[in-house]
Structure 1
Amino acid sequence: MSTAGTPDRALLPTATGAQTLAVVGPLLRRHRGLAVVAVTVLLVGTGIGLLTAPLLGHIVDQVVQRRGADALTWPMILLVAVAVGRGAATAVGSSLVARLGETVLASLREQFIERALRLPLERVEKAGSGDLTSRVTGDVALIAQTVRQALPEFSRSVFTIVLTLVGLAVLDWRFALVVLIAAPVHYFTVRWYMSRAIPVYAAHRVATGALQHQLLDSVGGVRTVRAFRLTGRHVDLVGERSQSAVDLALRGNRLVTGFFSRLNIAEFLGLTSVLVTGFFLVDNGSVSIGTATAAALYFHSLFNPLNAALVLIDDAQSAGASLARLVGVSTLPGEVEPDRPAAPADGSVRVTALSHTYVTGRPVLHDVDLTVRDGERVALVGASGAGKTTLAKLIAGIHQPSGGSVALGGVDSRELGPAGIRRAVTLISQEVHVFAGALSDDLRLARPEATDDELRAALEKVDALSWVEELPDGLATVVGEGGHRLTVTQAQHLALARLVLADPPVAILDEATADAGSAGARTLETAAARALSGRTSLIVAHRLTQAATADRVVVLDGGRVVESGTHEELVAAGGRYAALWGAWAESRREAVTG
């Protein structure tokens, strides 16, 4: 069983440490100037801040020696100047470090999106939508938060620790030496924590992806879940995966608690050592009370940065796990195009001995042979699970066949390559995404150079121009997330208009009118007929009225073609299609009379 608990899922890869460095390193080197400036400013700010302890130690000596109030004037002025200087340099330095991190993250995010969009769709489907979605949302958000908050703090803490140790050595080398007593405790604490935290955080990210995948499946397929009375099963699955994610989160919290308890022991040992050493050095006259005070203040000032640096390892482990998941996708090979891609001669489709298997030993299609003439409209009909959608996806190039071949326009699809197949075939399913932005931009995804007049012509062809012109800003109306909400029928209208703009020789509609309701379905069937005019089309028929108007009906059962002919021929033959049509017609009569 996989780590996600789903043996049928092939999760997208997670990069190793070396692979992550190989990708992030060049991005950092590209911005080395900004990195140098950021580090320099932070170092200066940290160095200025470390002047506080010796100044306070000097004030203690002045008080011990009874020098009077006048002797404290300049030290106090210098303390104020140190505070202002440190604050200004720290603010600027932290801003520069955050800017550097955001810049690198932006480049990495672009690489991720570029590669994710070019991944073979079959590979994405095998991983499950939740895996990729969790990476582009949760993982990116976690890294961004770390870059904005944890990275500047971690940088300041490391510089403070290093320069404070230098300051202790300047006061007296024995102070720097005794401070190292706490180092073994810190070392073993970090080692103990990292060995346990890394696998926990990595497993938690995978569990979160599995949970998101299950939520998308359950919510997105709610109609099917209810129809087959699978609600209880899906609730149980969501509960199981939620519990898995919660259990891993609690394990992480227990690790953090143990981590802090060990750090408290290190603080006690270190401060005790400095105070005892200071007592003996003052007693034998090696240092003044002010110097011993400065040493104690130095070590006390290490508490926050040292703890912060070690605590931020917690954030670093979580962000590192997310970063490895991003890099894992960005290093995946994209689609392979042939050196000399061919071009289809027309819109014909020929399927020869086509077979496909999602799970070993459970074939979905068996040696399917099908020829669709240029310009012919063919309806694919069959019960649920007959293999209609799988056949459509194989022709559209979304999946690679387990056996057999697909030829478009007389050219084997392998010679066309993924890009060539997309130019030759457009598939529209019942799940249409409306992209956030102007409606015109949504349409131009199909043809970026299209003019407004061409957009209107495409909308007019699918009977959508009237409602588009009634929108608040017409073509400029913002739709999608945060914008004007479109109905299911309107979203499908957009998809059909994009089909007209793309103008492929072959179009496939996979139950594209199924979710629109009766009135909406009739409207979309008319619009689809107009959009398909003049091109080869395959329709995965949800409503048999679509099959009745097709040039030919192909009936699938158990992954095989069992009947083929016109609607009239198949009804007259009294076979599988005639039975389906009879049941369909009866259900329609009952719906009307009821």
Structure 2
Amino acid sequence: MTEPRTNNHSDSPLLPVATPARTRAAVAELLCPQRRLALTAFAVMVASTAVGLLVQPLLGRIVDLAADRGSVDAITTTAALLLAVAVAQGVTAGFGLSLISRLGETTLARLRELFVERALGLPLERIEKAGAGDLTARVTADVSLIAEAIRSALPELARSLLTIVLTLGALALLDWRFLLAALLAVPVQAATARWYVDRAVPLYAEQRRAASAQQQQLLDTIAGSSTVRAFRLEREHTERVTERSWSVVALTMRGVRLVLGFYSRLHIAEYIGLAAVLFTGYWLVRQGSASVGTATAAALYFHSLFAPVNSALVLLDDAQSATASLSRLVGVTDQPPPPERTGSVRSGGVEVTVRGLGHAYRPGHPVLHDIDLTIQHGERVALVGASGAGKTTLARLIAGIQPPTTGTVLIGGVPPTELGAAASRTVALITQETHVFAGPLADDLRLAKPDATDGELRAALDRVDALAWAEALPDGLDTVVGDGGHRLSGAQTQALALARLILADPPLVILDEATAEAGSAGARALEKAVAQAVDGRTALIVAHRLSQAATADRIVVMDAGRVVETGTHDELRAAQGRYAAIWKAWSDTRDTGNHTGNHTHPGPHTS
């Protein structure tokens, strides 16, 4: 079971967080296939701890031999046994910890795989509402925190707990009264642990949410830096970043104060337990019920508990923080996978039907109003309109990124939000923000078709006039591109996206200003590549340049969220309506640029 969370620092709903019970159940499910490894690790650690517990009785034996003036040979033999115990414990402890580390790393790897699988299947609308910062924080900070806990805290916690249990058992074997004396510290330790956990769980969960909000604000500010500067909102955004950063600092300081209070209470428990064991040893020796060596062993046993008990309780700090992060990952991994759809789509194009479509990102503020639109099989339709007319919103609704507020969208008779796994084979959405993945160029292309041959890769590049520059790269299609690799220009990046489109071969293509980043120098070549890539497919193009719209089969003109004109380029120019006015303004600007010798001005954009 997962709980929806709301960001306390904004109105955006965060991605779900699993309940503690569900988190424990998820961990058990991940460990289940590795039961044999888990049992082997446990057995080795028990053996290692048991061997280590021989140290105290052997030291007690040396004390008794010294008190009774025992022989040198007896003391030497006991010392040799101590050395053998140390070696045996070191070897078994190292082997056991390596098994625990392998268990933890394997489990974490599987958790990562599930997280990525489910995260990629989340509806884009949900991710956008939550903010990219929340998802980014989970896949970076939360995973790192859990990984660190598995590599250091988990092995140490396992060893500490085993040491505590077996040491208490050893105390009982010496004399049950030593065990009772040692247990006097337990109520204080238990109360300390309860006090800490009750405060730490909500505190660390709040810290993770605050960190997500901080990261989202940083992403918003940096990604929108040009807009921030244009509207002179630097101070406002700086104040928001500062506010959320100080919120994280305040929560961190609360955590520091909590840990300090935790340690002070633990020290009180240690003093109580040690005093009780020493008094019990003195009393038993006076009565003749125990030797000095036995009392010494008991005191050493209890003193040896300081480290594992404190370690186990202190590791609650890491455990609670890691648990909070783990519940955030499980919240995503518990999301259902995209539903499979058995139906097939018609190759060579698909019909798109929009009826009574309306949409509002906020209640009471509609951005689309009662839109009716039909795109026939293989038809290429261009959306034209001023910025804010609703073109991108309409394109996103048809792509199935989010469901409309009112009305219906059907792709081949099916709502795009219900296509499930078939969506990626049916609809391709290409925007101006195309990502180049780090790695060889050929691998980047094969993201669209993993089994594509080198010949198919070259054919796709050739169809969008990109083969020449791709083969001219230092290592051809094996050239590493993306972060740390060869840098591609804006036009080359968009051509790469179009080549992926050809390899994926979807019947419906939606281009949202896909040539906007090319610049006027490469615009004409890229527009030609777009035409070749969408040939034979149903295409909806949010036209960045009117030259794109002019070559479309049909043009749809939008204004204030409504369709105000539709027709071919020649029909709309002859109608002397809004499109004709936009076209005239664009033509005049282009002509002015040509007359002044300025060949870099692309003319007024339609968005």
- Give the aligned partner of residue 210 of structure 1: 213
User: Quick check: 399-408 or 299-308, which moved more?
Assistant: 399-408
In structure 2, the CA distance between the partners of 1:87 and 1:432, relative to structure 1 (3 Å rule), is same
- Give the counterpart of 1:537 among 539, 555, 558: 539
- The letter for the 2-side match of 1:503 is D
Distance of 2:546 and 2:484 partners within structure 1: 37
Q: How does 1:78-477 map to 2 (within 5 A)?
A: 78-337=81-340, 343=346, 346-409=349-412, 411-413=413-415, 417-477=419-479
Q: CA deviation digits over 1:126-146, x for unaligned, max 9?
A: 222222222222222211111
Q: Which moved more, 1:88-97 or 1:67-76?
A: 67-76
Q: Does 1:493 align with 2:502?
A: no
Aligned-partner Cα distance in 2 for 1:494–1:549 = 22
Structure 2: distance between partners of 1:439 and 1:311? 49
Give the secondary structure class of the aligned counterpart of 1:57.
helix
The CA RMSD measured in Å over matched residues stands at 2.4
Q: For the residues of structure 2 that align with 1:376 and 1:131, how far apart are their CA atoms?
A: 39
Q: TM-score, normalised by structure 2?
A: 0.92
Is the Cα–Cα contact under 8 Å of residues 336 and 418 in structure 1 kept in the other structure? yes
1:501-534 CA-to-partner distances (Å, cap 9, x unmatched) read 1222221111112223332444422322222223
Of residues 518-527 and 100-109 in structure 1, the stretch that sits farther from structure 2 once superposed is 518-527
**CA pair 231-493 structure 1, distance change in 2 beyond 3 A:** farther
Residue of structure 2 equivalent to 1:42: 45
- Cα distance 1:121–1:502, how it changes in 2: closer, same or farther (>3 A)? same
Query: C-alpha displacement at 1:590, in angstroms?
Result: 6.9
Counterparts in 2 of 1:516 and 1:264: CA distance versus 1, 3 Å? farther
Verify the 8 A CA contact 1:405 1:412 in the aligned structure 2: no
The CA deviation string for residues 384-435 of structure 1, in whole angstroms up to 9 with x for no partner, is 32211111111111111222222334x2336972333432221101111222
Give the alignment's TM-score, normalised by structure 1.
0.94
Question: Helix, strand or coil: the match of 1:483?
Answer: coil
Structure 2 residue runs of 5 or longer lacking an equivalent are 599-607
> What's the CA shift string for 1:545-570, capped at 9, x where partnerless?
32233333222222111222334444
SS class of match (2:516): coil
Counterparts in 2 of 1:229 and 1:81: CA distance versus 1, 3 Å = same
Percent identity between matched residues is 61
Match of 1:504 among 506, 510, 535: 506
Query: What is the SS of the residue equivalent to 2:407?
Result: strand
SS at match of 1:412: coil
1:290 CA drift (Å): 1.6
Q: Distance in 2 between matches of 1:202 and 1:346?
A: 48
- Compute the displacement of 1:34 (Å): 0.7
> Per-residue CA shift, 1:485-505, capped at 9, x if unaligned?
333322211101011112222
Query: Does 1:26 pair with 2:36?
Result: no
Rounded to whole Å, the distance in 2 between the matches of 1:567 and 1:233 is: 45
**2:76 aligns to what?**
73
Moved more, 541-550 or 411-420: 411-420
Render the CA deviation track for 1:269-301: whole Å, top value 9, x for unaligned: 111222222222222322222212111111111
Deviations 1:436-468 (A, max 9, x none): 322212111212222111110111111211221
Determine if contact 1:430/1:513 at 8 Å carries over to the other structure.
yes
- Conserved 8 A contact 1:120-1:334: no
Alpha-carbon offset, residue 573 of structure 1: 4.4
Moved more, 567-576 or 463-472: 567-576
3-state DSSP of counterpart to 1:14 = strand
Describe the superposition over 1:18-61 as per-residue Cα deviations: whole angstroms up to 9, x where unpaired. 22233222322221111111001101111111111111111112
Please give the alpha-carbon distance, in whole angstroms, between the structure 2 residues aligned to 1:258 and 1:385: 56
